C-alpha cells in the first residue's frame, strides 16, 4: 500500500522511456524484481513498466474525490490511456484459456484494486494522523495495481507482480501465509489484504504518454514535486540509498537563511529534488537551484508544508550536477543463446564515478545454474565454438571473477560494484561480462553475455 500524494498535480519527465519489449510484445517477460526495489517508484509505475517519473498517480491532475473507489479510479486510468480488458473480471465468467488473448497485440494486462469502503470508514474513525493530514478523518483511500508477466510458455510462465508503494516489488499476495500470484492465483482470486479487486485493463506497450500524469503543466506553481532527479533509474538499491544519503549529508547548507528565490516553476530545467528518509538530521525533501537550497518540512506539499530557504554554501548543487549523471558506458560484442534465450548484459545503472558504484544486471541466466561475473581492464576475444558453444565468446580478460546465483523465481542476476574514492581511477575503463553454466544450451554447457565497458569519472 502506498500513501496517495493527490495534492501533487504535476510530475516531471526526466529520463528516457524505460519499458520492456517492443511494440509487438505484450506482457513483460518477467517481473524484473531486482529493478523494482527502490522507494521512488510505486505500484502504478511497476504496472505500466514506466520509470520516467516518480511515484505516479492515476488521479494526478484530477480533483481529489471524497473517497477513492473503483469507478473514479477506472475513469482516471482510462484518461491515462488504459483500456478495460475484454474480460474485466468477475462476475462475468472467466474465458477459456485466459489470460492468453486478454489484450490485443501490443498491449499488456494489468489489474487494479482499491481499499474496501468499510476499511476507509474504520481508518477515518481512528484518532491521530497516521494515514492523512491533518487527521485520519480526511483519509480518502488508496488504489493498488498489479501487472502480468510472461506469455504462458514453459520458459516464460504467467506470473503476477506488484510493488507496494516504496517497498520492493513482489510476486506474493497478501495472505498469511502469502501465496505466489501465478496462473492459479491471479488478482481476482488472490488475497489482496485490505484491497478489493476492481478490474483488468490493457496498457499500450510501449505505453503512450499518460494524459492524467504527464498532461499537466510541469511543476505547477504552488505544488511541491516529490522528487526531481536521482539518476536515470531512481534509487534501486539499499547500498545505493546509503551512499547517496551520506554524500548528500556532506553537502547540506550550513544554515545561512536567504529570502524566497521565487523560482520560475514553468522552467523545465530548474532544480533537483531529493526524496530522502526523514530523520532528525535529514530533510524529507529538498530542492536546490541557482545557489539556493529549499528544505521542506514534509513531502505532502499541502498548506501544512513549511519551506525554509538557505544559501547553497556547501556545494550541494555542484555535487548533484556531477554525481547524478548517468554512467559513461558502452556495450560491446554479442551474447550467445542459453537454454531459455539469449544471455544479455543489460544496461548499466549507477553513477560510475569514484566513491560511487556501478550496478550491473544480466538477463537470461536461470536458477540454479552457477553464474560468474568477469571484471577486467582489457577487452579480448576468445571464441568458444571449438568447444561446442557456438556463437559464445570470452570478451573480457578477467582480473576478477565474482560468483553469482540467479534469482530462483524469475531468473536473472545482478551485482553492485562499489568504486573506491581514488582519484587515480578517473578515466579507467572497467570491462565486464557474464558467464553461466547451462548444460542445455550447447554441448559445452556454457553461455556468455555481451560485454559492458564503463569509463570511471
Rounded Cα distance, 406 and 94, in Å: 35
Please state which CATH class domain 328-455 belongs to. mainly beta
Lowest mean pLDDT across 47-51, 63-67, 110-114: 63-67
Q: Which of 81, 3, 82, 83 is nearest to 42 (CA)?
A: 3
pLDDT at 375: 93
Lowest mean pLDDT across 115-129, 256-270, 310-324: 256-270
Which residues 6+ apart lie within 8 Å of 394 measured at CB? 374, 380, 381, 382, 384, 433, 435, 448
Q: What percent of the chain has pLDDT over 90?
A: 33
Domain layout of the chain by residue ranges = 33-214, 238-323, 328-455
pLDDT higher than threshold 90 for residue 376: yes
SS3 4: coil
- pLDDT: is 137 or 437 the higher one? 437
pLDDT higher than threshold 50 for residue 235: no
Rounded Cα distance, 64 and 59, in Å: 8
Write out the three cell numbers for 237: 538499491
> Mapped to the 3 state alphabet, what secondary structure does 35-77 carry?
HCCCCCCCHHHHHHCCCCCCCCCCCCCCCCCCCCCHHHHHHHH
Which residues 6+ apart lie within 8 Å of 264 measured at CB? 270
SS3 323: helix
Lowest mean pLDDT across 69-73, 349-353, 371-375: 349-353
Q: Kindly report, residue by residue over 293-349, the tens digit of the pLDDT.
A: 887 665 445 555 678 889 999 988 777 766 556 678 889 999 999 988 888 887 676
pLDDT at 386: 92
Distance set, CA 80 to CA 48, 86, 343 (Å): 11, 18, 35
pLDDT at 225: 28
Helix or strand run (H / E) with residue 332: strand 328-332
Lowest mean pLDDT across 123-127, 148-152, 277-281: 277-281
pLDDT higher than threshold 70 for residue 380: yes
Q: Kindly report, residue by residue over 391-433, the tens digit of the pLDDT.
A: 999 999 999 998 987 765 556 787 878 888 788 999 999 999 9
DSSP code of residue 431:
E
- pLDDT: is 56 or 172 the higher one? 172
SS3 33: helix
pLDDT higher than threshold 50 for residue 31: yes
Write out the three cell numbers for 127: 484518532
User: Per-residue pLDDT averaged across 276-287, rounded?
Assistant: 53
pLDDT higher than threshold 70 for residue 157: yes
pLDDT at 32: 84
End-to-end CA separation in angstroms for the chain: 38
DSSP codes, 252-317: S----B-------TT-SS--EEEE---BTTB-SEEEEETTEEEEES-SS-STT--EEEEE--S-HH
pLDDT at 392: 95
Q: How far is CA 77 from the centre of its chain?
A: 20
pLDDT at 311: 94
pLDDT at 198: 96
Distance set, CA 310 to CA 51, 154, 213, 253, 300 (Å): 31, 58, 31, 7, 21
pLDDT higher than threshold 70 for residue 103: yes
pLDDT at 20: 27
pLDDT higher than threshold 90 for residue 114: yes
Rounded Cα distance, 431 and 452, in Å: 6
CB 310 within 8 A of CB 252: no
The pTM for the full model equals 0.49
* Dihedral angle, C-alpha 120, 122, 127, 128, nearest 10 °: -30
SS3 361: strand
pLDDT at 412: 77
Amino acid at each position: 500500500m502506498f500513501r496517495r500524494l493527490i495534492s501533487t498535480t504535476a510530475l516531471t519527465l526526466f529520463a528516457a522511456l524505460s519499458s520492456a519489449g517492443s511494440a509487438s510484445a505484450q506482457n513483460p517477460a518477467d517481473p524484473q524484481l531486482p529493478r523494482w526495489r527502490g522507494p521512488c517508484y510505486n505500484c502504478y509505475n511497476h504496472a505500466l513498466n514506466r520509470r520516467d517519473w516518480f511515484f505516479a498517480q492515476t488521479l494526478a491532475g484530477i480533483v481529489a474525490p471524497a473517497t477513492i473507489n473503483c469507478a473514479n479510479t477506472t475513469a482516471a486510468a482510462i484518461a491515462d490511456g488504459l483500456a478495460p480488458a475484454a474480460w474485466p473480471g468477475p462476475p462475468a465468467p472467466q474465458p477459456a484459456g485466459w489470460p492468453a488473448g486478454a489484450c490485443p497485440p501490443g498491449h499488456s494486462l494489468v489489474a487494479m484494486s482499491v481499499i474496501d469502503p468499510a476499511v476507509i470508514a474504520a481508518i477515518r474513525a481512528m484518532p491521530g494522523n497516521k494515514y492523512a493530514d491533518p487527521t485520519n478523518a480526511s483519509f480518502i483511500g488508496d488504489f493498488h495495481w498489479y501487472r502480468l508477466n510472461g506469455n504462458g510458455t514453459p520458459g516464460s510462465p504467467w506470473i503476477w507482480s506488484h510493488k507496494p508503494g516504496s517497498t520492493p516489488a513482489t510476486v506474493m499476495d497478501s495472505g498469511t501465509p502469502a501465496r505466489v500470484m501465478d496462473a492459479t492465483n491471479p488478482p481476482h482470486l488472490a488475497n489482496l489484504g485490505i484491497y478489493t479487486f476492481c478490474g483488468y485493463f490493457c496498457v499500450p506497450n510501449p505505453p503512450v504518454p499518460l494524459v492524467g500524469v504527464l498532461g499537466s503543466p510541469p511543476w505547477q506553481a504552488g505544488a511541491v514535486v516529490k522528487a526531481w532527479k536521482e539518476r536515470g533509474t531512481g534509487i534501486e538499491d539499499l547500498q545505493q540509498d546509503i551512499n547517496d544519503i551520506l554524500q548528500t549529508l556532506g553537502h547540506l547548507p550550513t544554515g545561512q537563511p536567504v529570502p524566497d528565490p521565487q523560482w520560475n516553476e514553468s522552467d523545465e530545467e530548474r532544480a533537483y529534488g531529493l526524496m530522502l528518509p526523514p530523520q532528525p538530521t535529514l530533510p524529507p525533501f529538498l530542492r536546490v537551484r541557482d545557489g539556493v537550497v529549499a528544505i521542506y518540512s514534509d513531502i505532502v506539499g499541502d498548506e501544512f508544508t513549511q519551506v525554509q530557504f538557505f544559501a547553497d554554501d556547501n556545494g550541494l548543487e555542484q555535487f548533484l550536477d556531477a554525481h547524478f549523471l548517468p554512467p559513461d558506458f558502452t556495450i560491446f560484442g554479442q551474447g550467445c543463446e542459453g537454454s531459455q534465450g539469449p544471455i544479455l548484459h543489460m544496461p548499466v545503472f549507477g553513477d560510475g564515478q569514484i566513491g560511487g558504484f556501478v550496478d550491473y544486471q544480466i538477463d537470461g541466466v536461470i536458477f540454479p545454474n552457477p553464474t560468474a561475473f568477469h571484471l577486467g581492464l582489457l577487452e579480448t576475444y576468445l571464441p568458444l565454438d571449438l568447444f561446442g558453444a557456438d556463437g559464445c565468446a570470452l570478451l573480457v580478460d578477467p582480473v576478477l571473477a565474482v560468483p553469482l546465483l540467479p534469482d530462483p523465481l524469475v531468473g536473472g542476476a545482478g551485482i553492485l560494484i562499489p568504486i573506491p574514492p581514488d582519484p587515480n581511477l578517473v578515466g579507467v575503463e572497467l570491462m565486464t561480462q557474464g558467464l553461466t553454466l547451462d548444460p542445455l544450451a550447447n554441448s559445452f554447457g556454457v553461455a556468455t553475455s555481451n560485454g559492458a565497458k564503463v569509463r570511471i569519472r
